[in-house]
Structure 1
């Protein structure tokens, strides 16, 4: 009997030495996902969703907001799977995306809530926040209106079942439970539709990011 073995699809060889069985499985799922296998996407979400939730919860205490951030992190990761470097574990790459996305969220939230009357502390002492001139403010207002129109059109063009959940979630600021009650749908279905809607919006809007 020959000792030679034929490498099958299941005998995936990782470029990482001593890669764990779990990590090897991730690599196979990523490869399938890049090829368009939706079941592979679902398995990756099921595997890491809970862990990412508690990872982000350490930084953001609003549990419902954490659910949004987890979904958004998956959307970003799946849309950039072709950039994943298999020299690193998929879990490491995914956690880095989730962490950076959460940090961006916290940074934006802090900027929105920063009072112009509060001095900013620096190593050289305190400094007052300087307000921009009115012309700059006007330009920002115009850009903001243009951005709003682009987003609204993208939402309007979504399939109806996705458009409804996005409008309820982000325009009317309903909770997942409230949306499920309004649409008389299972909570899991609502979350899945919001996830898919965000994925479609991300793909639609990423080519227009220079206008944001």
Structure 2
């Protein structure tokens, strides 16, 4: 049975042939998480958090950034659980999200470090990069500013304890340990608050992303 978008639903799919006990357990937890079970949600996080860390670490050699990407992967996954097709193992689907999200991060980071003033070396010598047309650049700059305002507003709308950790982590670029010391809170609490804050931001901005 398919939903209106053509995606298979959780409840109608038969168990996968040769699926492991662990994988079948995941299917039950996913179904419960979709139904609103926070306990099942936490069990899935606990089960895959370490494995995802090692998976992403193979692509990025920055422990704190890896931890951010792991959290963001879970946020994306749990926000899109309704699109998960149980014909495939949950772990496979989760790793695919982690890989794609990490690749997107690396691509954006690479774009940010490119300098338009740096000449491109070719077989014929060096060639200056062509600047884009100014009106297009102005439009992009305007969109960028609008996005920043939208994100800033979403951060401002967070409850105080979540707003503060996001500001420290992403605006002041503090480490988890530094945030723990600044707020005088256990490291685990800081990580949990950042995780929850990202969830709230993702959901708050999800319906607005199509504007830009």
Taking structure 1 as the reference length, what is the TM-score of the superposition? 0.89
Runs of 4 or more consecutive aligned structure 1 residues displaced over 4 Å after TM superposition: 125-128
Does the C-alpha gap of structure 1 residues 22 and 14 become closer, same or farther in structure 2, counting only changes over 3 Å? Answer: farther
Quick check: 1:14–1:24 contact (8 Å CA) kept in 2? no
Name the SS of the counterpart of 1:85 in structure 2.
coil
The correspondence of residues 154-169 of structure 1 with structure 2, limited to 5 A, is 154-169=154-169
The offset of 1:120, in angstroms, is 6.9
Q: Which has the larger radius of gyration?
A: 1
Partner of 2:102: 102
Structure 1: gaps (5+ residues): 1-12
The offset of 1:128, in angstroms, is 5.1
Distance 2:69 2:209 in 1: 20
The offset of 1:192, in angstroms, is 0.6
Distance 2:173 2:104 in 1: 21
Partner of 1:6: none
Confirm whether residue 33 of structure 1 aligns to residue 46 of structure 2. Answer: no
Distance 2:152 2:45 in 1: 28
Structure 2: gaps (5+ residues): 1-12
The correspondence of residues 37-186 of structure 1 with structure 2, limited to 5 A, is 37-116=37-116, 117-119=118-120, 129-186=129-186
Does the C-alpha gap of structure 1 residues 111 and 210 become closer, same or farther in structure 2, counting only changes over 3 Å? Answer: same
The offset of 1:200, in angstroms, is 0.6
Distance 2:151 2:51 in 1: 31
Distance 1:201 1:140 in 2: 23
What is the RMSD of the two structures over their aligned residues, measured on CA atoms? 1.9
**1:158-204 C-alpha deviation (Å, 9 max, x unpaired):** 11111110011111111000111111111011101100100010001
Does the C-alpha gap of structure 1 residues 189 and 14 become closer, same or farther in structure 2, counting only changes over 3 Å? Answer: farther
**1:60-106 C-alpha deviation (Å, 9 max, x unpaired):** 11110000000000000000000000000000000000000000000
Name the SS of the counterpart of 2:208 in structure 1.
helix
Partner of 1:21: 21
Distance 2:128 2:16 in 1: 51
Quick check: 1:147–1:211 contact (8 Å CA) kept in 2? no
Taking structure 2 as the reference length, what is the TM-score of the superposition? 0.89
